Amino acid sequence: MAFGFSLGVALILSVWLTANCTVIPDGALHMRCHDRYFMIAAELSFTGVKPRFEAVDKADVFPITEQYAAKCGYSVSVLLLRGQVELRASYFSCHTDNKDDEVFTFNFNLITTHEGKDVTYALNKTCSPSLPWSPREVTCEANYMEVSVRSEVTCPSGTKDDWNALKPAHSSITSDWQVMFQRAEEQLPPMNMSIARKQGYVFDVTDGRVVFRTRYGQPDSFNTKMNGVPVEVVHATLFSRQSWIVLMIDLVAACSMYEGSYEDSGYMVWEIPEVLYPGLDSTQLSFGLNGELVEQAVAEDKGYIVEKHNATVEISIPHDADGGYRKSVVIDKLYEFYIFHLSFEQILVDEDRLETRVRFQRTLATPLLPRPVFTENQIVLEERTFTVYLGGVPADVELAAIYLNGQECTAPFTNASRHNVTQVVHPNNTHGYILKVPFDDPAVQLQFYKEAAVLEYGLYINFSLTVVPENMFYYHLASIALTTSVSPPAFDAVCSESGISFKLDHRPYDYLWEISIGSDLLTSELAAQHGYIMSNDSQSLLLDVPLFTHGYEYKNITLEEFFGTFEILVRDPETSEVQSSTVKTCPFTATELIMCSTDGRMTVVADLPLAIPDGDPARITLIAPYCGPKEADGTRVLFSFPFNSCGSTVKLGRENVSYENEIFYSHLNMNETLSNTTERVKIQCTYPLAGLHRLFSAYKFESDTVGFGKIIHTTEPLSGLQSPTIRPTVALTTTWAAKRPAGTPAAFQPAAHPPARYVRVSSIRNLFSGLRKGASQVKVDAAQL
Ligand SMILES: *[C@@H]1O[C@H](CO)[C@@H](O)[C@H](O)[C@H]1NC(C)=O
Ligand SMILES: *[C@@H]1O[C@H](CO)[C@@H](O)[C@H](O)[C@H]1NC(C)=O
Ligand SMILES: *[C@@H]1O[C@H](CO)[C@@H](O)[C@H](O)[C@H]1NC(C)=O
Ligand SMILES: *[C@@H]1O[C@H](CO)[C@@H](O)[C@H](O)[C@H]1NC(C)=O
Ligand SMILES: *[C@@H]1O[C@H](CO)[C@@H](O)[C@H](O)[C@H]1NC(C)=O
Ligand SMILES: *[C@@H]1O[C@H](CO)[C@@H](O)[C@H](O)[C@H]1NC(C)=O
Ligand SMILES: *[C@@H]1O[C@H](CO)[C@@H](O)[C@H](O)[C@H]1NC(C)=O
Ligand SMILES: *[C@@H]1O[C@H](CO)[C@@H](O)[C@H](O)[C@H]1NC(C)=O
Ligand SMILES: *[C@@H]1O[C@H](CO)[C@@H](O)[C@H](O)[C@H]1NC(C)=O
Ligand SMILES: *[C@@H]1O[C@H](CO)[C@@H](O)[C@H](O)[C@H]1NC(C)=O
Ligand SMILES: *[C@@H]1O[C@H](CO)[C@@H](O)[C@H](O)[C@H]1NC(C)=O
Ligand SMILES: *[C@@H]1O[C@H](CO)[C@@H](O)[C@H](O)[C@H]1NC(C)=O
């Protein structure tokens, strides 16, 4: 307790400014007549930290030292938390001009030091306390005990005193006043007034009263405990023998020395035994802070609690009572303490209703109480922002800086672009700060826990708080982690006329996956190689996949339309395992296309140079005349057939195997053959040998990859039919398509070619009828084997 107080003193002492003028500024000085004392309060900002007082009377000037104050009824205290120095002077203090115990005139000098020079301010005030003096008045001041009794007393109903104890008075041979102290049961030898004064006791006689004052801890007083409460008692008996009359005045002051205790419930408790003055009954209590006395009931309305336990009166002051002072302190941790300047008055009466008024001035201080500031996590997941509330910050503590994962952001925070700090002030004299840090802030640490498929956002905050005005620093640490389950990235896809567009908005943790097309990692090189249009910035990845580029699959091919499907795979970079995929299927139209499936099937939409004769598609066939189109319209036909049928020929090369067929017109109106040239429509699928299985061991086609398809439109002169050379005019080709992923059906992995413009020449198809021999022919190029 004392520690907290003196620490506070030391801390605050260093910060007060000294004023620099000799006129007392407005509001810097207050003088007030209280019921039982006169008070001067001066602002420390005006007086500096070490003001001095002198008591002035007609004769002289008396510096009020600590010792002199206790002896003469002055009490000076520097109240750092209040920012004042306070002098309280008893109405019976040594150098006060007392007229009839009714008008009291005080004269003081206040001496302050400015720039090494003393400046003296003469202060005076006259007080006439309105409260009449009780027959007996006891004051337990901070530094002394004072008792005054009315010197004229109407004779009480009887005396119960032990006359034996007063023997020395009886046997006294001098008329001079002497004093005799009693300690507990022990009677001390009498001493004359001059000895008593030397020992620091003051006896005084005013118009109507006898006054006795002593500092605490004199050898003639004694300390005891009443009901467990420490009490100091001084019991002096003044006597004078005047012939056969012995005058005796009994002067007793008993003061509770209880320093106060702090209850966890938040109350500062002060105790006073009921039996301080045996034989008297308490009639009335009043108390309050900073010299303001209020009656018990009023105080109780304000939250004070008065209880009697074990013949002890307990007064409980709420820690946040008005008029209390609190201060924050840092000693490794953040603490606070409270100081209360308690005034207390008790009226006691004896059986003749003679009043004793007992007054206390006590300063109570709580011990250092831990003052936890706290952080609350107020994450709003949708905002993707850490919102941290730092609360319970006392009024004399400010946020100086914030360290986020060691990175400093110093106050003021008004324009911190990424982190936002707002202050929240509460009516109970605490405040808080709201810190907002977006998840994508560089200070936020990301950690991926693969097994659990969760991502952890971690924020380690070191709040740097400072206690003002001393600038003691305190660091409050908070570490916040938020885990969210994460899913592999998924693209948005939209169809366009010419292809499919994919879009991926980047997330900070997308690096945890890799993106591939088939088995190939998507890179800008891959995109360039396959003709994808890729753009990638910090926000998003855009991938435009034009129709007929590598990676498409085609389905439900009709002459009107077909469906193209493109798939983007998301893989675990370590295991290459596919974690998710985005598949988009779009309807397209094209004049021509060819697909060579992995199960040995060719599907072709071909645009023929001549209108289909008589609109009868049956007249258009492959090499085998029984193989007609599945569909046909004005000039376009759709064929779909296995390689091992329809008269296809196989050409086996060193690396590739090719299957070829051709589209013919049969039963042509000869008139149409008049043209001197014809156009041949050859269709071809080529597969790399390495990717083929069981081509020769079983009569079954199975390829790892779709084939490379071509529709070859050639024009050649009629006579040129015999010529071994064929000039290709336009060759519509496909590219190698993606490898068939394991587990997907082998059927229907098409390849296609981009729509092409080509020269259309009238042709006579039946000139090729000689080739129509039914079953496939195998032409092995011996030179290449
Ligand atoms: C008391 O102080 C006032 C100024 O506050 C001054 O005018 C007056 O002369 C003083 N009286 C005495 C007796 O010093
Ligand atoms: C007081 O008592 C002391 C010793 O007991 C003595 O020396 C002194 O003279 C006395 N003073 C008076 C004023 O009687
Ligand atoms: C109550 O008072 C008695 C003596 O009167 C004392 O022995 C006892 O310890 C006290 N109890 C408390 C709790 O102070
Ligand atoms: C803070 O931001 C406001 C408006 O955004 C601007 O006017 C002001 O100058 C900024 N203050 C500092 C210190 O950057
Ligand atoms: C900080 O937050 C407050 C309240 O949410 C908002 O009004 C203010 O614009 C924010 N400032 C910055 C710099 O983001
Ligand atoms: C002060 O008020 C705030 C808001 O009402 C509350 O959260 C906080 O606990 C209070 N603090 C104290 C010390 O009473
Ligand atoms: C908090 O920040 C202060 C100032 O940088 C530093 O001295 C202190 O060690 C930090 N505390 C912790 C636990 O990191
Ligand atoms: C796209 O850019 C981001 C960085 O902006 C990078 O992490 C990512 O690997 C890039 N993706 C591709 C496919 O190039
Ligand atoms: C393809 O045709 C089949 C059978 O007619 C149908 O079930 C399927 O939905 C079609 N696919 C598309 C992409 O339209
Ligand atoms: C096999 O086909 C591929 C693709 O058309 C081609 O690049 C390669 O030259 C062919 N190899 C042979 C020997 O014909
Ligand atoms: C062949 O065409 C000529 C002129 O174009 C025409 O006169 C003749 O009748 C046609 N022959 C047949 C069999 O259609
Ligand atoms: C082929 O017929 C065209 C007109 O259709 C003609 O110009 C050309 O000379 C003919 N060529 C031959 C070799 O008959």
Give residue-wise pLDDT tens across range 389-442: 999 999 999 998 888 887 777 666 655 556 788 889 999 889 999 988 888 788
Ligand 9 in reach of 495 Cβ (< 6 A)? no
Q: Ligand 10, closest atom to CA 736?
A: 4
Residue 414 CA to ligand 4 centre (angstroms): 8
pLDDT band at residue 682 under the 50/70/90 scheme: confident
> Which of 12-16, 329-333, 613-617 comes out lowest in average pLDDT?
12-16
The arithmetic mean of pLDDT across residues 168-179, rounded, is 75
Residue 524 CA to ligand 8 centre (angstroms): 10
Q: Which single residue is written with the structure tokens 């205790």?
A: 261
Smallest Cα–Cα separation from 467: which of 371, 542, 385? Answer: 371
SS (H, E, C) 484-498: EECCCCCCEEEEECC
Q: How do beta strands 492-496 and 499-505 pair? A: antiparallel
Residue 138 near residue 81, CB atoms below 8 Å: no
Task: Report the alpha-carbon distance of residue 40 to residue 109 in Å, rounded.
Answer: 11
Judge whether residue 630 has pLDDT over 80: yes
Six-digit token string for 157: 């109903």
Phi-psi domain of 156 (left: phi exceeds 0; alpha: psi -120 through 50; beta: other): beta
Question: Minimum-distance ligand to the CA of 718?
Answer: 12
Ligand 12 in reach of 675 Cβ (< 6 A)? yes
Instruction: Determine how many CB atoms are found less than 10 A away from the CB of residue 706.
Output: 30
Judge whether residue 629 has pLDDT over 80: yes
Per-residue pLDDT at 664? 77
Q: Which single residue is written with the structure tokens 């206040």?
A: 110
Q: Whose CA is nearest to atom 11 of ligand 6?
A: 392
Among the ranges 104-118, 153-167, 673-687, which has the highest mean pLDDT value?
A: 104-118
Residue 327 near residue 342, CB atoms below 8 Å: no
Domain boundaries, the chain: 9-132, 137-152+165-369, 374-485, 492-588, 593-784
Q: Ligand 12, closest atom to CA 718?
A: 13
Per-residue pLDDT at 751? 36
Instruction: Determine how many CB atoms are found less than 10 A away from the CB of residue 610.
Output: 19
Per-residue pLDDT at 40? 96
Six-digit token string for 139: 């004051």
Residue 681 CA to ligand 12 centre (angstroms): 20
Ligand 9 in reach of 585 Cβ (< 6 A)? yes
Q: For residue 711, give the 3-state DSSP assignment.
A: strand
Ligand 6 in reach of 428 Cβ (< 6 A)? yes
What single-letter amino acid sits at 341?
H
Per-residue pLDDT at 116? 83
Q: Which residues of 178-195 are buried (b: 16+ CB within 10 A; e: fewer)?
A: bbbbbbeeebeebbeeee
Smallest Cα–Cα separation from 57: which of 25, 89, 12? Answer: 89
Per-residue pLDDT at 691? 77
Task: Report the alpha-carbon distance of residue 139 to residue 242 in Å, rounded.
Answer: 31
Whether 9-132 and 374-485 share one fold: the answer is: yes
Q: Whose CA is nearest to atom 3 of ligand 9?
A: 556
Ligand 10 in reach of 705 Cβ (< 6 A)? no
Per-residue pLDDT at 411? 63
Please give the sequence-ordered ranges of beta strands (E in DSSP) within 411-548, or none if there are none: 420-425, 430-438, 445-449, 454-467, 472-485, 492-496, 499-505, 514-517, 520-521, 533-536, 540-546
Cross-strand bridge partners of residue 359: 139, 345
Total-model pTM? 0.64
Side-chain half-sphere of 386: how many Cα atoms within 13 Å?
30
Q: Ligand 4, closest atom to CA 414?
A: 1
Q: Whose CA is nearest to atom 10 of ligand 3?
A: 227
> Which of 19-28, 88-97, 733-742 comes out lowest in average pLDDT?
733-742
Residue 677 near residue 715, CB atoms below 8 Å: yes
Residue 413 CA to ligand 4 centre (angstroms): 11
Residue 516 CA to ligand 2 centre (angstroms): 115
The arithmetic mean of pLDDT across residues 159-168, rounded, is 58
Per-residue pLDDT at 770? 30
Question: Minimum-distance ligand to the CA of 405?
Answer: 7
Smallest Cα–Cα separation from 31: which of 40, 18, 23? Answer: 40
Ligand 6 in reach of 426 Cβ (< 6 A)? yes
Q: How do beta strands 136-140 and 355-365 pair? A: parallel
For a mutational test of ligand 5's pocket, the pick from 422, 424, 435, i.e. the residue with the most ligand atoms closer than 8 A to its C-beta, is 422
SS (H, E, C) 640-687: EEECCCCCCEEEECCCEEEEEEEEEECCCCHHHHHCCEEEEEEEEEEE
Question: Minimum-distance ligand to the CA of 512?
Answer: 8
pLDDT digit string, tens, across residues 316-355: 999 989 999 999 999 989 999 999 999 999 999 988 888 9
Question: Minimum-distance ligand to the CA of 671?
Answer: 11
For a mutational test of ligand 12's pocket, the pick from 673, 675, 677, i.e. the residue with the most ligand atoms closer than 8 A to its C-beta, is 677
Per-residue pLDDT at 405? 83
pLDDT digit string, tens, across residues 513-568: 899 998 899 999 999 999 999 999 988 999 999 988 888 888 888 888 999 999 99
Q: For residue 261, give the 3-state DSSP assignment.
A: strand
Smallest Cα–Cα separation from 480: which of 443, 431, 425? Answer: 443
Six-digit token string for 270: 């002060």
pLDDT digit string, tens, across residues 687-715: 888 877 666 555 567 777 778 888 887 76
Judge whether residue 646 has pLDDT over 50: yes
Q: What is the CATH number of domain 374-485?
A: 2.60.40
Task: Report the alpha-carbon distance of residue 412 to residue 318 in Å, rounded.
Answer: 35
Six-digit token string for 278: 């045996």
How much of the chain exceeds pLDDT 90, in percent?
A: 44
Per-residue pLDDT at 258? 95
Six-digit token string for 601: 């099937």
For a mutational test of ligand 6's pocket, the pick from 425, 428, 429, i.e. the residue with the most ligand atoms closer than 8 A to its C-beta, is 428
Task: Report the alpha-carbon distance of residue 549 to residue 566 in Å, rounded.
Answer: 10
Q: Whose CA is nearest to atom 3 of ligand 4?
A: 415
Ligand 10 in reach of 708 Cβ (< 6 A)? yes
pLDDT band at residue 315 under the 50/70/90 scheme: very high
Query: In angstroms, what CA-CA distances link 744 with 395, 705, 747, 755?
Result: 70, 12, 9, 28
pLDDT band at residue 114 under the 50/70/90 scheme: confident
Q: Whose CA is nearest to atom 11 of ligand 5?
A: 420
Handedness of CA 433, 438, 442, 446 (dihedral sign): positive
Q: Ligand 9, closest atom to CA 556?
A: 1
Residue 275 CA to ligand 3 centre (angstroms): 13
Mean of all residue pLDDT scores within the chain: 81
Ligand 6 in reach of 430 Cβ (< 6 A)? yes
The arithmetic mean of pLDDT across residues 4-30, rounded, is 55
Residue 702 CA to ligand 5 centre (angstroms): 64
Per-residue pLDDT at 610? 66
What single-letter amino acid sits at 75?
S
Q: What is the CATH number of domain 9-132?
A: 2.60.40.10
pLDDT digit string, tens, across residues 746-765: 333 333 333 332 222 222 23
The arithmetic mean of pLDDT across residues 171-181, rounded, is 80
pLDDT digit string, tens, across residues 204-248: 999 889 999 999 999 999 999 998 899 999 999 998 888 788 888
Per-residue pLDDT at 268? 96
Task: Report the alpha-carbon distance of residue 395 to residue 404 in Å, rounded.
Answer: 24
Per-residue pLDDT at 160? 52
Residue 615 CA to ligand 12 centre (angstroms): 27
Q: Ligand 2, closest atom to CA 195?
A: 1
Per-residue pLDDT at 722? 33
The arithmetic mean of pLDDT across residues 372-385, rounded, is 84
pLDDT band at residue 600 under the 50/70/90 scheme: confident
Smallest Cα–Cα separation from 90: which of 47, 43, 55? Answer: 55
Q: Whose CA is nearest to atom 8 of ligand 6?
A: 392
Q: Whose CA is nearest to atom 5 of ligand 8?
A: 538
Q: Ligand 6, closest atom to CA 427?
A: 2
Residue 750 CA to ligand 10 centre (angstroms): 18
Ligand 12 in reach of 766 Cβ (< 6 A)? no
Residue 458 CA to ligand 1 centre (angstroms): 70
Ligand 2 in reach of 195 Cβ (< 6 A)? yes
Six-digit token string for 355: 């009043």
Ligand 5 in reach of 387 Cβ (< 6 A)? no
Q: Exposed, middle or buried: residue 468 (CB in 10 Å: 0-12, 13-18, 19+)?
A: middle
Q: Whose CA is nearest to atom 1 of ligand 7?
A: 462
Q: Exposed, middle or buried: residue 62 (CB in 10 Å: 0-12, 13-18, 19+)?
A: middle
Residue 191 CA to ligand 2 centre (angstroms): 8
Per-residue pLDDT at 213? 97
Residue 564 near residue 584, CB atoms below 8 Å: no
> Which of 47-51, 449-453, 486-490, 527-531 comes out lowest in average pLDDT?
449-453
Judge whether residue 85 has pLDDT over 80: yes
How much of the chain exceeds pLDDT 70, in percent?
A: 80
Q: Whose CA is nearest to atom 1 of ligand 10?
A: 656
Q: Whose CA is nearest to atom 13 of ligand 4?
A: 415
Task: Report the alpha-carbon distance of residue 465 to residue 471 in Å, rounded.
Answer: 9
Residue 640 near residue 632, CB atoms below 8 Å: no
Task: Report the alpha-carbon distance of residue 56 to residue 62 in Å, rounded.
Answer: 6
Q: Which single residue is written with the structure tokens 């066939």?
A: 621
Residue 590 near residue 606, CB atoms below 8 Å: no
Per-residue pLDDT at 80? 87
Ligand 7 binding pocket, CB closer than 6 Å: 403, 462, 464, 475, 477
pLDDT band at residue 187 under the 50/70/90 scheme: confident
Q: What is the CATH number of domain 593-784?
A: 2.60.40.3210
Per-residue pLDDT at 747? 31
Per-residue pLDDT at 15? 38
Smallest Cα–Cα separation from 551: which of 709, 688, 752? Answer: 752
